[in-house]
Amino acid sequence: MTEVLICSYLEPELVERVRAVDPRLHVNYRPDLLPQPRYLADHVGAPLVRSPSDQAAWDVLLAGAEVLFDFDYTDMTGWVAKAPRVRWLQASSAGIGQLVKRRRFDETGIVFTTASGVHARPLAEFVTMVMLEHVKRAGLAREQQAKRSWQRFTTGELCGKTLAIVGFGRIGTEVAGLARAFGMRVIASKRDVGGLDAAALGLAALYGSDGLHDLLAGADYVCLITPHTPETEGLMDEAAFAAMKPGAVLINIARGAVVHEPALLAALNAGRLAHAALDVAAVEPLPADSPLWAHPNVTIYPHSASTGEHENERLVQLFCDNLRRYLAGEPLLNRLDTERMY
């Protein structure tokens, strides 16, 4: 039997889907030993202190596990030593490269697979929402409503505007699809562009990583989706903001470290950027004294744009597909490249 341990909360009916994959699986799920979710699809959960007996029971499950669904967030420093038989871990997050490197999990021999693609739709809808709210001047409407002021104004249209996607992968493909539905022109950048045809990807232009400033110069909206790697840390610096089209909007659904926040604030304060919508921050939670909180041209999302009502269902579908592959000895989907960090 292949011992599977589910390490973060899932709905009971989804656990049964995992169990139904193959009779060779023995799936352990003890929600009484796991942190309770604070919201739908919360995989870290509320702080948990187990009793000695509960901790002993959990340690036994870890010791016998060959496959883990998610990290043991109750003991991120010690779970590897307690789980010597683990060969594969399916994460509930797409961006685990930095975590795996920082914790030196890449030295364990464990295969990690990410949740890449699971969050594409909610993130694409978030990006669309930001662009629509900006072009339709939703902020002005709310401001006037608060004042009970009925003053007509003119709005813009997304049709004909240019969206630049920095980091064109699964999420970028979904974002681009919705943007094109509104008649937008979509351009993008990608680390490896060899052999790729922009038109075949539905793009007006495709740039390599060395063409960032050219990409930014032509965009009304810039969406960051690139993974956080040593090459992309601080990617959006003073020079990058200077290259952007005056009055453009920045949308960051990547990682906070991709943006140099002092340069972002300078661009906002100078009026070069019209708005910044930030789902992520360099330090999370965003410190209470950060000037970003109160900036009139900033929208703060608490790393929630990706957390959708169907997340757990999509995660379990991916996990089940990978379990079948694992049992058949086939390559796993979304295997983390620990060198590239995605």
**Averaged over 95-109, what is the pLDDT?**
96
pLDDT tens-digit readout, 220-246: 999 999 999 999 999 999 999 999 999
- The closest of 17, 16, 15, 8 to 40, measured between CA atoms, is 8
Q: Please name the amino acid found at residue 135.
A: V
CA atoms of 87 and 218, how far apart (whole Å):
46
Please name every residue paired with 205 in a beta bridge, in sequence order, or none if there are none.
187
pLDDT tier for residue 328 given thresholds of 50, 70 and 90: very high
DSSP for 163-174 reads EEEES-SHHHHH
DSSP H helical ranges for the chain? 12-19, 52-64, 79-82, 97-102, 120-135, 138-146, 170-181, 212-217, 238-243, 261-269, 311-328
Known catalytic residues are 255, 284, 303
Q: Give the model's pLDDT for residue 50.
A: 97
pLDDT score for 158: 98
The whole-angstrom separation of Cα 96 and Cα 100 is 6
Residue pLDDT, tens place only, 241-274: 999 999 999 999 999 999 999 999 999 999 999 9
Distance in angstroms (rounded) separating the CA atoms of residues 329 and 199: 36
- What pLDDT, on a 0 to 100 scale, did the predictor assign at position 169? 94
Cis peptide before 246 (omega within 30 of 0): no
Contact between residue 104 and residue 43 where contact means Cβ atoms under 8 Å apart: no
For residue range 104-144, what is the model confidence (pLDDT) as tens digits? 999 999 999 999 999 999 999 999 999 999 999 999 999 99
Query: What are the tens digits of pLDDT across the range 21-61?
Result: 999 999 999 999 999 999 999 999 999 999 999 999 999 99
Model-level pTM greater than 0.85?
yes
Average pLDDT, the chain: 97
Q: What is the pLDDT of residue 106?
A: 95
Question: What integer pLDDT is reported at residue 139 of this predicted model?
Answer: 95
Residue 48 corresponds to which tokens in the numbers above? 């948990």
Contact 189, 215 (CB under 8 A): yes
Q: Name the percent of the chain lying above pLDDT 70.
A: 100
Q: Give the pLDDT band (50/70/90) at residue 188.
A: very high
Taking only the tens place, the pLDDT of each residue in 138-186 is 999 999 999 999 999 999 999 999 999 999 999 999 999 999 999 999 9
Tokens of residue 82, six digits: 């307690």
